[in-house]
């Protein structure tokens, strides 16, 4: 696959200047941030930007989800004194599967369904476009444990696994809670 950076950035102009994780006011494209320096070559890469084309949870794109998981995994790894670079980079690429899983979910046999198979596809794509160390590979391929059966090998892999589930819950339920809150406000008027 070949993607033109100019074309993709024109398609997604808001992300030329402002990328924020859910619940955060920090612009992750700020070049002074340690996080940005760790993922600089990935965060606006043409292949990674293609994740904008696919919805992940509710109204959250795959790109936004990966940003959320990457940033919060980075913060947790930093708190525990772990490998922040591998954590941030592996988490940013953990869902680089590049297809709309909603369209195929009813046709696939159980163990070929997206939840079971996408970590391998994401790892294949990530390895095709980027150089990954062993820890980053483990993060990507094991982030869906226990569905992936094999246990994560590194502490950083566990962090990404937990942050993936946490962000999924936030992305799915926060918009719902906001809608309920708005409905209650309207009912009180």
- Give the pLDDT of residue 96: 83
pLDDT above 70 as % of the chain? 68
What tens digit of pLDDT does each residue of 80-102 get? Answer: 999 999 999 999 998 886 555 54
Q: Average pLDDT of the chain?
A: 77
pLDDT over threshold 70, residue 124: yes
**Greater model confidence, 38 or 119:** 38
Instruction: For residues 158-175, give the mean pLDDT.
Output: 87
83-103: b (≥16 Cβ within 10 Å) or e? bbbbbbbbbbbbbbbbeebee
- Give the pLDDT of residue 6: 39
Instruction: For residues 8-26, give the mean pLDDT.
Output: 64
Domain span at 40:
5-188
* 3-state class (DSSP) for residue 123: helix
- Check: CB of residue 11 under 8 Å from CB of residue 52: yes
Nearest Cα residue to 69 out of 37, 44, 114, 35: 35
pLDDT over threshold 70, residue 169: yes
The number of domains in the chain is 1
**Greater model confidence, 2 or 114:** 114
Q: CATH number of the domain at 70, please.
A: 1.10.3210
Nearest Cα residue to 85 out of 49, 126, 136: 136
């Amino acid at each position: 696959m070949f993607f033109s950076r100019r074309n993709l950035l024109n398609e997604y102009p808001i992300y030329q200047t402002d990328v924020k994780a859910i619940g955060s006011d920090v612009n992750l494209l700020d070049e002074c941030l340690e996080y940005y320096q760790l993922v600089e070559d990935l965060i606006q890469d043409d292949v990674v930007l293609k994740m904008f084309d696919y919805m992940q949870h509710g109204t959250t794109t795959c790109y936004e989800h990966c940003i959320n998981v990457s940033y919060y995994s980075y913060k947790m790894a930093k708190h525990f004194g772990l490998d922040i670079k591998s954590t941030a980079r592996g988490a940013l690429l953990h869902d680089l599967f590049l297809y709309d899983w909603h369209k195929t979910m009813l046709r696939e046999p159980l163990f070929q369904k997206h939840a079971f198979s996408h970590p391998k596809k994401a790892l294949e794509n990530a390895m095709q476009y980027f150089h990954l160390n062993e820890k980053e590979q483990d993060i990507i391929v094991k982030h869906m444990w226990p569905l992936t059966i094999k246990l994560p090998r590194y502490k950083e892999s566990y962090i990404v696994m937990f942050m993936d589930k946490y962000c999924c819950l936030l992305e799915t339920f926060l918009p719902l809670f906001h809608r309920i809150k708005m409905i209650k406000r309207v009912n009180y008027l």
